[in-house]
Structure 1
């Protein structure tokens, strides 16, 4: 078979397999109760952001808190979290702006924009800030359980982890314990990871003469690789799925 013919066969096989995967997903979801969602089903959010910048900022913020948790300086950790969030503040706010639920949008914006002034607050206001940031996390967690639109779930995932390290640090500095917040963050990130998991099929690839994994994200982005984890990572690179995946191990040690 000529190369051009092999490519046609390959494309046809991939198309058939992915169509089958979509059909299976649709059948599996048929008849199930649809939870209320703050954004119409089928809507797609396209914030003008650089997801890699956001992911790096969130990782740096969690790393800073982990350093403090391990005995590091509170002042240094706070400064590092502020610097990380500031480095991607516009991108993070754009993701938050894409949240349809007004309460979650407002509380996440407030946490991101006001945390740099945390040390200037009175003791009472520090505790109030910490408790409000905690309520924001629980609000987002609740929405992650309720929404069915994956684009909305994706934006909630970004906001969850923008507020996460802020809430952890604020509670610590306000004299509050985090032993109840950390499990909520773990559960919320697991919801993002589970809810946005891409569809994948394992197909024979005529070009490489072996099988490859072909994965498709909810937003239609596709990627393929020899291993399923690598194909998933490539397909989900521009979503909060990747952030949740990387955040869960960080939270496991807290």
Structure 2
């Protein structure tokens, strides 16, 4: 009976694309790839904002720090563009793709071009925030979330480079991040994959949307943990590890 129970449970785990016993893994592999590069992109932009605000940076230093930001976005660009391409609204999709692709040349912009671009990308970031409120599907929220994070960061860099203020931009950026965090919160539950089987195995599953799901198993038998015990916080974090929610949670406390 026990052997059949474990085989059935293993099949269920494979079908759900979730967990090895006692560990927690997100459904999509390598959450430290795209998201880590995007977090670094934001961190470098925030650093540039602080350094310019404090004065003392040479033009060469500003260009060098901006190039580091460009390089960080390059590492995440293909995945970010894939999310942008998933946005249903053609105007936001086109503006977001356009601004991401143009950012690589920001160090070559003339003053007038930089000022115009700063205003344009700021408007696109605001549009992304508005679209977050307008969509109900979590997948759409996630796609727009990636666009919003990228666009607000581009706008911050462009505005400090152009000598524009960023106070209101940062207020809106924080609001957009909180919206992403709230809208992509995982739904979690305890359940029994094989009710009535012995020994009893309990699962804890968190779902955000689609394959963004994670499960951990526990089994306490004859005074010994054969699997588990379950760590609910770890399962929750694994479920959204490769979504814009993880990026939002990481960068929100770092914004000025």
Structure 1 length as normaliser, TM-score?
Answer: 0.74
User: Match for residue 123 of structure 2?
Assistant: 135
Q: CA deviation at 1:213?
A: 3.6
**1:227 has 2:207 as partner:** no
**1:76 has 2:64 as partner:** yes
Root-mean-square deviation (CA), in Å? Answer: 3.0
State whether residues 81 and 166 of structure 1, in contact with CA within 8 Å, keep that contact through their aligned partners in structure 2. Answer: no
Q: CA deviation at 1:188?
A: 0.8
User: Match for residue 239 of structure 1?
Assistant: 243
User: Match for residue 62 of structure 1?
Assistant: 42
Q: CA deviation at 1:119?
A: 2.5
- Per the alignment, do residues 126 and 201 of structure 1 end up closer, same or farther by CA in structure 2, a change over 3 Å counting? same
User: Match for residue 207 of structure 2?
Assistant: 216
Q: CA deviation at 1:91?
A: 2.2
Greater mean alpha carbon deviation, residues 116-125 or residues 166-175? 116-125
Distance 2:106 2:135 in 1: 32
Q: CA deviation at 1:59?
A: 0.9
- Per the alignment, do residues 57 and 220 of structure 1 end up closer, same or farther by CA in structure 2, a change over 3 Å counting? closer
Structure 2 counterparts to residues 83-162 of structure 1, below 5 A: 83-162=71-150
SS in 1 for 2:188: strand
- Per the alignment, do residues 137 and 51 of structure 1 end up closer, same or farther by CA in structure 2, a change over 3 Å counting? farther
Using CA pairs below 8 Å that are at least 6 residues apart, which structure has the higher relative contact order?
Answer: 2
Q: Paired residues, what number? A: 216
State whether residues 50 and 91 of structure 1, in contact with CA within 8 Å, keep that contact through their aligned partners in structure 2. Answer: no
- Per the alignment, do residues 5 and 121 of structure 1 end up closer, same or farther by CA in structure 2, a change over 3 Å counting? closer
Distance 1:111 1:207 in 2: 57
- Per the alignment, do residues 112 and 213 of structure 1 end up closer, same or farther by CA in structure 2, a change over 3 Å counting? same
Distance 1:74 1:209 in 2: 61
Distance 2:83 2:116 in 1: 25
Structure 2 counterparts to residues 182-193 of structure 1, below 5 A: 182-193=170-181
State whether residues 177 and 252 of structure 2, in contact with CA within 8 Å, keep that contact through their aligned partners in structure 1. Answer: yes
CA deviations 1:125-168 (Å, max 9, x no partner) are 11110111111111000000010111111100111122222111
SS in 2 for 1:148: coil
CA deviations 1:194-252 (Å, max 9, x no partner) are 1111110245899998976421221144313433321111112232221222121222x
Q: Which has the larger radius of gyration?
A: 2
State whether residues 188 and 204 of structure 2, in contact with CA within 8 Å, keep that contact through their aligned partners in structure 1. Answer: yes
* Uncovered stretches (5+) of structure 2, i.e. residues with no partner: 13-28, 53-60, 217-229
Distance 1:227 1:185 in 2: 32
Structure 2 length as normaliser, TM-score?
Answer: 0.73
Distance 1:208 1:2 in 2: 7
State whether residues 215 and 231 of structure 1, in contact with CA within 8 Å, keep that contact through their aligned partners in structure 2. Answer: yes
